[in-house]
Chains A and B, each alone.
Chain A
């Protein structure tokens, strides 16, 4: 399998998909008295998010529900249009507002959804789902044999073998893990360069989650895909992703190499997240009594750092100014005033 862009030696051009200052505000419908006021309210779901997906690498985006991580995926897939900020595919700005442009973009950037029970049409067979993806993206070939071969290929690639056994099944005849594999095969039907996986395993049974993650990793290596892995489970990000970004209330608060983000978390929120994750190895005495409070409303988020009302280290500056990204070593950054160098 080949991709349309020539491989380059230099590290920087390995970036497949890049977001810069991505922002999304969803307008809130006015009710009652608000109808008379001029100020329009909005949910600030995503604020100034910058990230890069590289070829052959998995980038994880970790956050709680409501942190805006799924909105980022939908923005990157151009299912929503951003309020501001840019998305670049191989350095070219993307403007895929509907129609032909959107379809051409979809050929290169595909998305996998959380719920394989909902993302497959219950009245159609696996064959229909995959054929449609192949035809739309012009990869069905000329003859029925070509199509059959392409179908066989796709199913083999997601380890649904023998393919003949699965191709004429309806979604209800498959288990959750098999359904998610069909959804992955459908995304691969477009022969994409980037795959946006929005909680691909959280609806699956625990014993089969790793099977699907290992499959995605295998595909990444073989097809040199750039994968965005969205999850609320930071332990699985450590296992599966090369790089990890942590989101809180619409902003990226920390990012870097997965191992250093999970082993040496710098931002107080990441520390809280890691302390809260279930961990059988944790000695009972180590239990810290932190983590009071809940994420803020995104209609009227706190000024400055959005974590400041819950932060044990909050300082006056935290409530005034939004912290920029401070480098904490080896490409690992944290958006937290604690890491501002003195005198800088």
Chain B
């Protein structure tokens, strides 16, 4: 496996301060490798968007990073901790190294500016030596990258369809050739046909330009198809991490199993599906022990007391495709030095 570009270590994020704080992320450890698509799946409130904002330092107040480190590995340089960057460093880092496509991105375009202005603005801010002509050339190039004809440069956002606006946003994110692109539910507002067009293009671009993607969505079936590795989040923690195909065929955590059982299949025999009983946990009143135990069909008494640790499951290390596989569940005892 290729080397790491982004490493998250023991990240804890709270909303609010002191005793009333809601703990949105707890001890999250995650590594993004060069050129891979890492999927983050989970329900609303599981902390997947908080993780994206936390590791780019975009958390809106009252969000606070309580502890942890986020290492970014520059090409041929020492890793830098994003959470300890100065303001000026951060300004250079954002977009040029890590770009983010927001949830509902198609509404993030400024309605009173033309596409060209919005695309060239970021280039101007980061590269003072560029000329107007070179910026426009780059903007044209970016539009063709995402499959939009260059004559759309003079359009306003309302003249484009939702799918085109979304593609413009992806083009904008790629403007400075970042190493990491974080996509927070990039296609949830779009129809399946358009969604597939956009994702296919993204995968294509990733192969050509060689960036890594953190892909956040609640649609697990989409992730299995489009990402290399998947991390499943529940109640602010990562509960399982594995290669997509492995996770699909052999999920270990009961929550992952439940999630996979929540999607009716288009092919094959029809079977009765149940989803997961109960509702997602309230972060203000988290259950003790494993956060999933009130909904878990296989919960034991121990689950209500002990918080399971994320680690490599025992007896599965020898298989090569279990590399990088971790799970946090008492049903699957883990090695102590799992990480």
Q: Using CB atoms and an 8 Å cutoff, list the residues of chain A in contact with chain B.
A: 64-65, 175-178, 205-211, 214, 232, 234-236, 238-240, 259, 262-263, 272-274, 276-282, 287, 291-292, 294
Chain B residues with CB under 8 A of A277 = 192, 266
Is B274 in the interface zone, CB < 8 Å from A? yes
Write the nearest CB–CB distance from B173 to chain A, whole angstroms. Answer: 22
Q: How far is the CA of A279 from the CA of B259 in the complex (A)?
A: 14
In the complex, what distance in Å separates the CA atom of A274 from the CA atom of B266?
A: 8
Contact A278 B219 (CB under 8 A): yes
Q: Total A-B residue pairs with C-beta atoms closer than 8 Å? A: 102
For the complex, is B258 an interface residue (Cβ under 8 Å from A)?
Answer: yes
If A64-B191, A273-B192 touch, whether A207 touches B43 (CB-CB below 8 Å) is: yes
CA distance A209 to B275 in the complex (A): 7
Contacts of A177 in B (CB 8 A): 279
Q: Are B43 and A276 in contact (CB under 8 A)?
A: no
Bound complex: CA A46 to CA B271 (Å): 34
Chain A interface, >50% SS class: helix
Minimum CB distance partner of A240 in chain B: B264
Supposing A206-B263, A239-B273 touch, asked if A291 and B43 sit within 8 A by C-beta, the answer is no
Interface check B277, CB cutoff 8 A:
yes
* Complex CA distance for A263 and B268, rounded to whole angstroms: 9
Instruction: Kindly provide the distance from the CB of B309 to the nearest chain A CB, expressed in whole angstroms.
Output: 23
B266 touches A232 (CB 8 A): no
- Quick check: A65 and B262 within 8 Å, CB to CB? no
> Does B191 lie within 8 Å of A206, measured CB to CB?
no
Given contacts A175-B279, A280-B248, 4 further A-B contacts (CB under 8 A): A178-B279, A210-B264, A273-B192, A280-B224
Residues in A with CB closer than 8 Å to B193 are 64, 272-273, 276, 291
Let me know if A207 and B280 touch, CB within 8 A: yes
Asked if B267 is at the interface (CB within 8 A of a chain A CB), the reply is: yes
Contacts of A276 in B (CB 8 A): 192-193, 195-196
A211:B265 contact, CB within 8 angstroms: no
Q: Which residues of B contact A259 (CB under 8 A)?
A: 270
Distance in Å from the Cβ of A70 to the closest Cβ of chain B? 14
- Report whether B225 and A278 are in contact in the complex, using a CB–CB cutoff of 8 Å: yes
User: B294: CB under 8 A from chain A?
Assistant: no
- CB of B2 within 8 Å of the partner chain: no
The residue on B at minimum CB distance from A175 is B279
Chain B residues lying within 8 Å of A240, measured Cβ to Cβ, are 264
- Separation of A210 and B275 alpha carbons in the complex (Å): 5
Name the residue in B219, B266, B280 with the highest tally of chain A Cβ atoms < 10 Å from its Cβ: B266
Interchain residue pairs A-B with the least CB separation, the first 3: A210-B275, A239-B264, A175-B279
CA distance A235 to B273 in the complex (A): 12
